[in-house]
Structure 1
Amino acid sequence: MPTRRHFLHTALGFAALPHVAGAAAPGGVSLGFSLYGMKTLSLSEALKTCAEIGYANVEFALNAGFPTEPKVFTAEARKEAAQQLSTLKLDLPCLMVNLSLAADDKAHAQALQSITDAAQLARELNAAQPAIIETVLGGKPATWEQQKSGMAERLQSWAETAEKAQTTIAIKAHVGSAVNSPERLLWLLEQVKSPAIQVAYDYSHFELQGIGMEESMKLLLTRTKFIHVKDSTGDPSKFQFLLPGEGRTDYVKYFTALKQHGYHGPVVVEVSGQIFNKPGYEPIAAAKQCYAVLAGALAKVV
């Protein structure tokens, strides 16, 4: 009997996707859920929940306080997680590691160690197809001109560390950070020119600034290795992130544009801390709601 995941992978306009752990499957997109939005669940319960809902992949959050934070994620727990991912046929394309290019020297050294630790964790979880790393970049929009040269230098160090660790870092623009636009993101990529530095695309940050979907995709998707998806309301001075379907994004248009640009890979729901830190947040209900919205839109793509 076909599963919900099978239905999603054979939705109109997208070919069936084989199970290729941690990789972008040829033929289209696969939906995922970032466990950043499931902090209150055990890792085992979170993985089981995502598989049962129908998600094809998940993202682990390596941030402090999460069960997959490297210093508390024991060798035994890593082995169990790898086995569960395999059993549930869940891919692990990416690891969230929140770093900053605007950090001081001490924090920068810690960031380089975090990259090494994340790469090691990725290999332990799936040696054949290790997850890549994704991160925002820190700073504030108004400080870009003063900080961009120093940020490029630090990014060069990230790239050298990533190359040595045989990993890829996907960097993400953020409406509240120094790197808030496609142009600033591309400027950094041009300064470093390393295959170890690629793009994590999240349209919500551009939508808040009035940057068009087509414009941002045209600029960034050729370098994009990972996609986060969520909705938003407001503007750069005052904004609120929302679950997919609660904001302005037309997801049929969104998935159609991804197809037209030839993007093959994960589209992963990121539930913002603005949402999951609110009293009454229910991670399982949120994951189900997001899947219904996104899978419904994807099924309408022709």
Structure 2
Amino acid sequence: MFTRRHFLHTAAGFAALQTLSQGAGPGGISLGFSLYGMKTLSLSDALKTCAEIGYANVELALNAGFPTEPKVFTTAARADAAQQLKALKLDLPCLMVNISLTADDKAHALALQTITDAAQVARDMNAANPPIIETVCGGKPATWEQQKAGMAQRLQSWAETAEKAKTTIAIKAHVGSAVNSPERLLWLLEQVKSPAIQVAYDYSHFELQGIGMEESMRLLLPRTKFIHVKDSTGDAAKFQFLLPGEGRTDYVKYFTALKQHGYHGPVVVEVSGQIFNKPGYDPVAAAKKCHAVLAGALAKVG
């Protein structure tokens, strides 16, 4: 089955990024759910489900095979979805699309077009405050030294395309990609030095490598514009992603740290393909379970 993790070696996602203030709850933090984990539901049902559960925002997955893939997500469908979001009082802070900094020239050209297409979706959904787009970066941890110069060059092209489209790309470290640590992520940002390139933070990938919560937040939150959250078990060599509350993360500690570092914006559940591709996966039950865990922790902090 084709999952985001499998995609890492050939394509990573990109992100169009802005300052996030939508749907802010206590301390400026709000909870969201990525529709990456609701592929089997219609877009309308997924949005309604998230609102009924109590989420403040959602992330759309523009990946191939999803109902919001740009080539099938028509202008009329985008307008309908935007109206439904407004009626449900759901914010749309982010879009997910997979491209790669380690792609060959042909795939890189397609990635630049993907950035442009996703930026158009963002404007169609909310012209006044377009959603951001986030991505991992591709490659493998062991090939970082050989690939990093080329990745920086690719990222420069991403930045130029994003600037032209008046959007921003948030890149995310992943335990299985060439960019697997805060230091590697920041190195790339330093090479490009563009406001169009920022950070998507996901602690689960650092926890698997023994990188502390405080250390990773201290390094990355100053450049972070979007957050994914999920749990995990195992280590960098062999791991399994889990729903929030099923692993090792202390979410009271987590939200306390976010507030101490001054983060304002959504914290969005990302259900891994390792989970949603399993037989019997129930997206509605998963979304309810995640919200209960995270809302309970956030209430204790607030």
TM range (shorter): over 0.9
Percent of aligned pairs with the same amino acid: 87
Cα shift at 1:24: 6.8
Runs of 4+ in structure 1 over 2 Å off? 20-27
CA deviation string 1:92-135 (max 9, x = no partner) = 00000111100000110010000000000000000010011100
Residue 236 (str. 1) matches residue 236 (str. 2): yes
Residue 146 (str. 1) matches residue 142 (str. 2): no
Q: Which whole-Å CA distance do the structure 1 matches of 2:126 and 2:24 have between them?
A: 16
Q: Which whole-Å CA distance do the structure 2 matches of 1:229 and 1:190 have between them?
A: 25
CA deviation string 1:232-260 (max 9, x = no partner) = 00011110000000000000000000000
Cα shift at 1:76: 1.1
Residue 117 (str. 1) matches residue 117 (str. 2): yes
* Length-normalised TM-score, structure 2: 0.92
**Secondary structure in structure 1 of the residue aligned to 2:98:** coil
Instruction: Tell me which residue corresponds to 1:16.
Output: none
Q: Which whole-Å CA distance do the structure 2 matches of 1:96 and 1:165 have between them?
A: 16
1:275 aligned partner, one-letter code: I
- C-alpha contact 1:230 1:242 (8 A) present in aligned 2: yes
Q: Which whole-Å CA distance do the structure 2 matches of 1:24 and 1:110 have between them?
A: 33
Cα shift at 1:160: 0.2
1:241 aligned partner, one-letter code: F
Structure 2: runs of 5 or more not aligned: 1-18
1:190 aligned partner, one-letter code: E
- C-alpha contact 2:23 2:56 (8 A) present in aligned 1: no
Q: Which whole-Å CA distance do the structure 2 matches of 1:37 and 1:22 have between them?
A: 23
Residue 162 (str. 1) matches residue 162 (str. 2): yes
CA deviation string 1:212-235 (max 9, x = no partner) = 000000000000000000000001
Instruction: Tell me which residue corresponds to 2:5.
Output: none
Aligned pairs (5 A) from 1:30-109:
30-109=30-109
1:237 aligned partner, one-letter code: A
Cα shift at 1:21: 8.8
- C-alpha contact 2:229 2:268 (8 A) present in aligned 1: yes
Cα shift at 1:85: 0.5
- C-alpha contact 1:22 1:91 (8 A) present in aligned 2: no
Cα shift at 1:154: 0.2
Residue 133 (str. 1) matches residue 166 (str. 2): no
Q: Which whole-Å CA distance do the structure 1 matches of 2:181 and 2:20 have between them?
A: 31
Q: Which whole-Å CA distance do the structure 1 matches of 2:20 and 2:177 have between them?
A: 32
Residue 227 (str. 1) matches residue 227 (str. 2): yes
- C-alpha contact 1:24 1:264 (8 A) present in aligned 2: no
2:228 aligned partner, one-letter code: H
- C-alpha contact 1:22 1:94 (8 A) present in aligned 2: no
**Secondary structure in structure 1 of the residue aligned to 2:80:** helix
- C-alpha contact 1:78 1:124 (8 A) present in aligned 2: yes
Please tell me the root mean square deviation across aligned C-alpha atoms, in Å: 1.3
Q: Which whole-Å CA distance do the structure 2 matches of 1:170 and 1:90 have between them?
A: 21
Instruction: Tell me which residue corresponds to 1:266.
Output: 266
Cα shift at 1:37: 0.1
* Length-normalised TM-score, structure 1: 0.92
- C-alpha contact 2:132 2:168 (8 A) present in aligned 1: yes
**Secondary structure in structure 1 of the residue aligned to 2:161:** helix
- C-alpha contact 1:57 1:93 (8 A) present in aligned 2: yes
1:74 aligned partner, one-letter code: T
Q: Which whole-Å CA distance do the structure 2 matches of 1:300 and 1:277 have between them?
A: 33
Cα shift at 1:28: 1.6
Cα shift at 1:81: 0.3
**Secondary structure in structure 2 of the residue aligned to 1:299:** helix
**Secondary structure in structure 2 of the residue aligned to 1:300:** helix
Aligned pairs (5 A) from 1:185-204:
185-204=185-204
Cα shift at 1:146: 0.2
CA deviation string 1:179-222 (max 9, x = no partner) = 00000000000000000000000000000000000000000000
**Secondary structure in structure 1 of the residue aligned to 2:119:** helix
**Secondary structure in structure 2 of the residue aligned to 1:128:** coil
- C-alpha contact 1:162 1:168 (8 A) present in aligned 2: yes
CA deviation string 1:127-151 (max 9, x = no partner) = 0100111000000000000000000
CA deviation string 1:60-116 (max 9, x = no partner) = 000000000000101111110000011101000000011110000011001000000
